[in-house]
Amino acid sequence: MAITITPLRPSIGAEVRGLDLTGPIGDGDFAKIRQAFYDHDLLVVRGGPFSDDDHIRFSSRFGELKKLAYDAYLGDRRPEIFVVSNIKEGERYIGAHDAGMFWHSDGPFLPKPHGPSALHAIEVPVQDGRVLGDTHFASTAAAYDALPQSMKRRLEGLQAVNSMLRRFELAARSGVQDSAATKHSKAQEQEAVHPVVRVHPVTGRKCLFVSDGYTTRILGLPEDESKALIEELTQHIVQPQFCYTHSWQLNDLVMWDNCSTQHKATFDYKLPQRRLMHRTTLVG
């Protein structure tokens, strides 16, 4: 079957059909897929079931994969696979059960933020025939492009602090117990400074790099001005014209760019409705 690529929204996303992740992908087909990814910032691959090995093989065509497994969670898995799940074995979760509660990109608290991520739907929660647990995505590149020139000039040279402490604080405010964020090794970096406007390393597009989930302050601005600007930018990014909402199907693979997009999960399900996702993430 020939591979087809269909845009999902004007600002973000494309759906890939006819791609078999269980077998080798020719160089010509992969070049087409890679180009589509950087053109649209997010790809939805739909088809039949595939394994963690297939997932890793496909993701690694884009670059080196990070090893993200948390020791705090149960189960054996390849170190390139990070588990997102609300499933428990006994009293312990098998994966990150609260991942994606707030708008964010992956890894901005690190000196070198994560590259693209790819999430595989292995189990999806369903109620009365309706799939729950949608994921919202927003294009930070399209959001930057839409800013007035006066705001673009204002943002030139500004840098922002992105911190895991913000993630801890938001989780605590939401009443989340046993937060996935608190399971991070204390040896890991928890705060980093990055430009408010990042230049994408592949496309060269300018992207807003502030988020509700991690950004705490903008350096060089008074506290009230910093807070107001962060709020203005984060609300601007998630306007409907820059967004795509993904309703999951079994065996979906959704791959997004962590420089040019942000995402947020929908927590409209709870056990016994089970959700199980496996994620790979590239080195930034």
Catalytic residue set = 104, 106, 263, 279
Q: Angle 176-262-173 (CA atoms, 0-180°, nearest 5)? A: 20
* Token output for 13: 């996303």
Neighbours of 140 (CB within 10 A): 31
* Sequence-separated (6 or more) residues with CB below 8 Å from residue 260: 41, 139, 140, 141, 200, 203, 205, 207
Neighbours of 152 (CB within 10 A): 13
Burial-class residue 118 by CB neighbours within 10 Å (0-12, 13-18, 19+).
buried
Alpha-carbon distance values, 91 to 170, 175, 247 (Å): 23, 18, 29
Q: Angle 164-202-195 (CA atoms, 0-180°, nearest 5)? A: 40
- Tokens 């964010």 identify what position? 104
* Sequence-separated (6 or more) residues with CB below 8 Å from residue 201: 259
Nearest to 277 by CA among 139, 87, 79: 87
Collapsing DSSP states into helix, strand and coil, what is residue 218? strand
Peptide bond into 7 cis (omega under 30): no
